[in-house]
Amino acid sequence: MTEQKNSSKTTALAQALLLEQVEFFKKQLSIENSPIYFQQFIQLFMQHADEIKLHEVVDLEQLQAVVKRYAFEMQLGAGLLEFIGEIAQRIYLAAMKSPIQLQDLVSDHQFEMWLSKFLEMEHIPHYVNQFLRTSPSVQQLCQYIATSTLEQKLPKFLTTSRVDDYHFEWQHKLKKFSFLQQQRLEHKLETWIAGFIHEQLTELSLLSSEDLESLVRHVWEDIRYKKMYEFMKQLTPLDVEEFFVLIYEYWKELRQSQFMQDLILYGVEVFYDFYKDQSLFEVLSEIGLTENDLQTEALRFYPKVMDAFNEHGILEPLLQALLAPFYQSPKTLDMIEKHFNE
């Protein structure tokens, strides 16, 4: 009889403690008290973050599993794809109204750095030159340009139908001879023009650094003051939307290739090997996050989230779900029972 009475008192006290702790945390997490609460929590975390190494909280397999799930397997929902299309079109329309010039996006300093790096890579022009010289596709392209140019620019004095229109034998032979000579001449001219284009193209790829720099600077001076909408107006909002969709579709296909997956996972491995023996504080510092950043971002979003939780009655059930298992556990109830019996 006494045991049953004590168990009832124990359960009632456990329930009272649960409700009291839920109420305590509700006050701690309130908008009025949360700045101090978060500040203390983040300060405590950052104090101990210097003692914990990255490999103590996460291993390589866990990181790679996350990458596999979200980089290789996750599919964007139809609603999100529709949103991407909508935002792409709106960004395009907003950019079209901007008076910003190209030089506002690429400073003189950035231009000089990129140009210097480009000119340093002297092996690339030689590779391009070798490709242009030996590629059958390039030679075919030059031949096509030559043929198209002649067809458009040279008048056709003779055709096969006109050759057959003459009644006298000598006229027919003369015109046929002229027609054949015209064909031979055109063929030789096409071959010469194609060779000339090919030669000029290959020589252009081996411009000296001085000539190449001068050419790039002249191009930059021609376009740097142009407004961005002058470039963007060549596209339509639908073009921009489809461009983003094509990028996503291409990525969906590319990420399934074994080469790309191996490359990404190897990059994760390199990251882990580089940082695994560094503390969490050092990793956050390398990323550029400070204690002040964490506090600022926490307080930036927290008030609105708490307003929504309170408005929909979510906070109290959430706290009860987190704390109730402790107060309902046999170990906790036995401890309370023990104190009642002392």
pLDDT digits (tens, 9 = 90+) for 275-304: 999 999 999 999 899 989 988 888 888 888
Query: What is the rounded average pLDDT of the residues 77-106?
Result: 89
Residue 116 has pLDDT above 90, yes or no: yes
C-alpha span between 109 and 114 (Å, rounded) = 9
Cβ atoms of 106 and 157 closer than 8 Å? no
- The CB density around residue 295, as the number of other CB atoms within 10 Å, is 17
Percent of the chain residues topping a pLDDT of 70: 90
Q: Are 146 and 194 in contact (CB under 8 A)?
A: yes
d(CA 298, CA 247) in angstroms, rounded, equals 33
Tokens of 300: 């930036």
- Report residue 74 as tokens: 């996750």
What pLDDT score does 6 carry? 45
What integer pLDDT is reported at residue 19 of this predicted model?
A: 93
pLDDT in tens, 45-81: 888 999 999 999 999 999 999 999 999 999 888 788 8
Task: List CB contacts of 228: < 8 A, sequence separation 6 or more.
Answer: 95, 98, 100, 101, 102, 105
Give the pLDDT score at 169: 66
Answer yes or no: pTM beyond 0.85. no
Q: How many C-beta neighbours within 10 Å does residue 40 have?
A: 10
pLDDT at residue number 1: 37
Contacting residues for 164 by C-beta, under 8 A, at least 6 apart: 172
| Packing angle, helices 34-49 and 280-287, rounded to 10 | 110
pLDDT of residue 80: 83
Is pLDDT at 314 greater than 70 in this prediction?
yes
pLDDT (tens digit per residue) in 126-157:
899 999 999 999 999 999 998 888 777 766 55
Tell me the mean pLDDT in the region 245-249.
Answer: 89
- At residue 4, the pLDDT reads 44
- In the predicted model, is pLDDT for residue 2 greater than 60? no
Q: What pLDDT is stored for residue 167 in this prediction?
A: 60
For residues 279 and 41, give the distance between their C-alpha atoms in angstroms, rounded to a whole number.
Answer: 18
Which of 298, 216, 328 lies closest to 29, judged by CA?
298
Contacts of 31 (CB under 8 A, 6+ apart): 302, 303, 306, 307
Rounded CA separation 253/241 (Å): 19
Q: Is pLDDT at 40 greater than 50 in this prediction?
A: yes
- Compute the average pLDDT of residues 100-109: 93
Q: Looking at this protein, which amino acid is placed at residue 217?
A: R
Which tokens sit at 4?
A: 């049953």
Judge contact between 5 and 336, C-beta under 8 A. Answer: no
- Name the average pLDDT for the chain: 86
Whether the predicted pLDDT of 27 surpasses 50: yes
Q: Are 284 and 49 in contact (CB under 8 A)?
A: yes
